[in-house]
């Protein structure tokens, strides 16, 4: 009694240890991991941050540009010299008559005045753009559009990551279901082998029947090995996609359960197009070309600005001095207007190309939505047909099993019925997984 109790405790402890060691993941958890760890998603988030920095940089163009410059020099000799010759200078004695004919003189010796051997110059200038041909305004609008484009691309990457996650998740789940089916089939073959072996030993059947069952067992073992390898590779790819280390004990908890019909998620294709990220991205492309044209046109319009400068100067031994200056600037690129006639037309053509692409790709998006709906309904029909085939395969197996037990059919017929049941079960598993993925695809292409 004591040994039995200890054995039961050990079995219980071992079961609890296994339950804690095995990790499980739901589909929702897998999607969250993929979004967090996928490299493409990380890069798309960084691209949004970069686009926002471009937008902030464009905003600074509204403010004055401030620059500072300075220079200090020391020359080998004075750069400016003024020489005055000596001589007699008339002296005014207060009598106006003597202004024309002076009678007194003062001698002034010759001299040389030199300056600018050393010096320092500094200047700070601020220029506020008043009119820049609309380039600042349109440049900011273009930068804001760049942020939206980055967000649209990130959303597309988001959808692709989720769709790939579902595809790989349900692939692993379907392979797990196929493994259960083949194990059940293997169990049936083992039971059949015992029956056939006993019948052969009793002389009821020939040894050839035993060999047929054993041959089928070998075939099942080979298929089971291939399935196990495929399941392992699928799990490794899935773990890599969601960004976690491969774990052979990892289990996926969701099952292939069909809980809705296609009509519950139907939406009109024309109404769904406007929800597509791709459609908004195409619209942004047209808008970008329009802004690019306006930016180019702004290069050929007058540029007006006002400014303020403060200048600091100090030469040789003189005292330093500062001077303030207010000024205005205006430039008109007269010689560029001929060029502008061609470059603006070039951007107008590119704008029309973007509009044509919008129209053409909108039609392609409509076709994609319609095809996704057709694929979804076809996948659901395949599920219904496989469900019906499953019922028929089970009945067929039961009839053949009863017939074999009563000696009304041979072992080959029973083996064929068992193989057919396994094949139908695998088809049903594939049909269910395909329907779930097609439903996700349809929701994605309709912007949901």
Q: What is the pLDDT of residue 90?
A: 72
- Going by C-alpha positions, the residue among 266, 257, 262, 40 that lies closest to residue 170 is 257
Q: What is the pLDDT of residue 17?
A: 42
Which residues are CB-contacts of 55 (< 8 A; sequence separation ≥ 6)? 140, 143, 144, 146, 147
Please say whether the beta carbons of 54 and 86 come within 8 A. no
Q: Report the topology of domain 24-66+132-304+335-445.
A: Outer membrane efflux proteins (OEP) (1.20.1600)
Alpha carbon 73 to chain centroid distance?
Answer: 55
Which residue stretches of 126-206 are H helix?
A: 135-201
What single DSSP character describes residue 320? Answer: P
Please say whether the beta carbons of 186 and 217 come within 8 A. yes
pLDDT tens over the chain, length 448 residues:
444 444 444 444 444 444 444 588 999 999 999 999 888 888 999 999 999 999 999 999 899 999 999 998 888 887 777 777 766 767 766 677 666 677 676 666 766 667 778 889 999 999 999 888 888 899 999 999 999 999 999 999 999 999 999 999 999 999 999 999 999 999 988 988 888 888 888 877 788 888 988 998 999 999 999 999 999 999 999 999 999 999 888 999 888 888 889 999 999 998 899 889 999 999 999 999 999 999 888 888 889 999 999 999 988 888 888 999 998 988 888 877 788 888 889 999 999 999 999 999 999 999 999 999 999 999 999 999 999 999 999 999 999 988 888 878 888 888 899 999 999 999 999 999 999 999 999 999 998 8
Question: In this structure, are strands 251-252 and 24-25 parallel, antiparallel, or unpaired?
Answer: parallel
For the record, the structure tokens of 214 come out as 């054993």
Q: How many CB atoms lie within 10 A of CB 168?
A: 20
Q: What is the pLDDT of residue 210?
A: 87
Please say whether the beta carbons of 320 and 314 come within 8 A. yes
* CA distances for 331 relative to 244, 300, 303, 350, angstroms: 61, 10, 5, 29
Q: What is the pLDDT of residue 12?
A: 47
Half-sphere exposure of 415 toward its Cβ, with a 13 Å CA cutoff?
Answer: 19
Angle CA 438–442–443, to nearest 5: 120
For the record, the structure tokens of 407 come out as 């000696």
Please say whether the beta carbons of 413 and 404 come within 8 A. yes
Q: Give the whole-angstrom CA distance, residue 316 versus residue 119.
A: 6
Locus of tokens 């019909």: 261
- Phi first, then psi, for residue 70 (nearest 5°) are -155, 155
For the record, the structure tokens of 105 come out as 């003189």
Please say whether the beta carbons of 369 and 269 come within 8 A. yes
Q: What is the pLDDT of residue 279?
A: 94
Q: Give the whole-angstrom CA distance, residue 52 versus residue 49.
A: 5
Q: What is the pLDDT of residue 22?
A: 55
Q: Exposed/middle/buried for 213, CB within 10 Å: 0-12, 13-18, 19+?
A: buried
For the record, the structure tokens of 326 come out as 């207010």
Long-range contacts formed by 20-23: CB under 8 A, 24+ apart? 21/249, 22/249, 22/250, 22/251, 23/247, 23/249, 23/250, 23/251
**How many angstroms separate the first and last alpha carbons of the chain?**
62
Q: Give the whole-angstrom CA distance, residue 93 versus residue 303.
A: 63
Positive or negative torsion for Cα 180, 185, 186, 190: positive
Which residue ranges make up each domain of the chain?
A: 24-66+132-304+335-445
Q: What is the pLDDT of residue 41?
A: 87
Q: Give the whole-angstrom CA distance, residue 369 versus residue 297.
A: 40
Please say whether the beta carbons of 303 and 330 come within 8 A. yes
- Going by C-alpha positions, the residue among 394, 411, 421, 431 that lies closest to residue 182 is 421
Q: Give the whole-angstrom CA distance, residue 44 versus residue 41.
A: 5
DSSP 3-state assignment of 328? strand
């Amino acid at each position: 009694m004591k040994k039995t109790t200890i054995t039961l405790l050990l079995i219980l402890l071992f079961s609890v240890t296994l339950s804690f060691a095995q990790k499980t993941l739901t589909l929702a958890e897998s999607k969250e991991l993929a979004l967090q760890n996928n490299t493409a998603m990380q890069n798309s988030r960084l691209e949004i941050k970069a686009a926002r920095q471009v937008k902030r940089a464009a905003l600074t163009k509204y403010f004055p540009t401030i620059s500072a410059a300075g220079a200090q020099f020391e020359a080998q000799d004075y750069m400016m010299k003024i020489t005055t010759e000596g001589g007699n200078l008339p002296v005014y004695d207060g009598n106006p008559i003597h202004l024309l004919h002076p009678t007194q003189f003062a001698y002034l010796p010759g001299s040389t005045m030199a300056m600018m051997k050393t010096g320092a110059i500094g200047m700070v200038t601020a220029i506020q753009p008043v009119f820049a041909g609309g380039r600042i305004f349109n440049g900011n609008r273009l930068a804001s559009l760049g942020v939206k484009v980055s967000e649209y691309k990130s959303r597309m990457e988001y959808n692709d990551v989720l769709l790939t996650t579902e595809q790989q998740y349900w692939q692993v789940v379907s392979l797990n279901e196929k493994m259960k089916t083949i194990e059940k089939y293997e169990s049936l073959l083992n039971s059949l082998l015992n029956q056939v072996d006993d019948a052969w030993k009793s002389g009821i059947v020939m040894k050839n029947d035993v060999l047929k069952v054993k041959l089928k067992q070998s075939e099942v073992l080979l298929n089971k090995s291939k399935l196990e390898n495929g399941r392992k590779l699928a799990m490794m790819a899935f773990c890599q996609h969601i960004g976690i280390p491969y774990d052979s004990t990892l289990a996926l908890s969701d099952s292939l359960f069909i809980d809705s019909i296609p009509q519950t998620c139907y939406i009109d294709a024309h109404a769904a197009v406007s929800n597509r990220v791709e459609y908004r991205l195409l619209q942004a492309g047209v808008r970008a070309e329009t802004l690019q044209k306006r930016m180019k046109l702004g290069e050929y319009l007058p540029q007006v600005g006002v400014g303020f400068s403060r200048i600091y100067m100090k030469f040789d031994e003189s005292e330093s001095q500062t001077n303030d200056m207010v000024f205005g600037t205006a430039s008109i690129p007269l010689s560029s207007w001929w060029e502008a006639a061609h470059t603006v037309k070039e951007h107008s053509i590119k704008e029309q190309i973007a509009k044509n692409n919008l129209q053409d790709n909108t039609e392609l998006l409509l076709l994609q939505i319609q095809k996704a709906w057709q694929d979804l309904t076809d996948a659901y029909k395949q599920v219904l047909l496989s469900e019906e085939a499953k019922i028929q395969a089970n009945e067929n197996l039961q009839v053949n099993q009863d017939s074999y037990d009563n000696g009304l059919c041979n072992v080959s017929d029973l083996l064929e019925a068992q193989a057919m049941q396994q094949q139908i079960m695998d088809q049903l598993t594939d049909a269910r997984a395909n329907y779930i993925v097609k439903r996700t695809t349809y929701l994605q292409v309709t912007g949901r």
